[in-house]
Amino acid sequence: GQQLNQSPQSMFIQEGEDVSMNCTSSSIFNTWLWYKQDPGEGPVLLIALYKAGELTSNGRLTAQFGITRKDSFLNISASIPSDVGIYFCAGNYGGSQGNLIFGKGTKLSVKP
């Protein structure tokens, strides 16, 4: 079946550092989504990407839809303590009903 490989699994960084995480697959996706989940809460959508090559920013966050449609990355610039959480990528591989699969998440810890 379809699989997304999300890396790294976890990151421990100093406040102010930039962060980069990515998702790759052997399959082609129509849509890439990036979510952030705080402890005890549901995931919240950060960025949605709909076209190959698309580069989209949301404040300090930037995400890109890979040209091959098989990968995506998320960058966070100048990290702050409230960036702590788990970041999930998700890919939609279409079909008549639409099918969405999630990566296993990147756990981000920020040291003040």
Partner 1 sequence: EADIYQTPRYLVIGTGKKITLECSQTMGHDKMYWYQQDPGMELHLIHYSYGVNSTEKGDLSSESTVSRIRTEHFPLTLESARPSHTSQYLCASRRGTDSPLHFGNGTRLTVT
Report if residue 66 touches partner 1, rule: CB under 8 A.
no
Applying CB under 8 A, which of residues 22, 24, 25, 31 lies at the interface with partner 1? 31
Residue with tokens 């076209």: 51
DSSP 28-90: --SEEEEEEE-TTS--EEEEEE-STT-EEEETTEEEEE-TTSSEEEEEE-S--GGG-EEEEEE
Among 11-19, 35-43, 56-64, 68-76, which window interacts with partner 1 (CB under 8 A)? 35-43
Establish how many alpha carbons lie within 13 A of residue 78's alpha carbon, considering only the half-sphere containing its beta carbon: 2
For the CB of residue 92, give the shortest distance to partner 1 in the complex, in Å. 5
Applying CB under 8 A, which of residues 48, 52, 60, 77 lies at the interface with partner 1? 48
CB distance 65 to 51 below 8 Å: yes
For the CB of residue 101, give the shortest distance to partner 1 in the complex, in Å. 8
Which positions lie near partner 1, rule CB under 8 A? 1, 30-31, 33, 35, 39-45, 48, 50, 86, 88, 90, 92, 94-98, 100, 102-105, 107
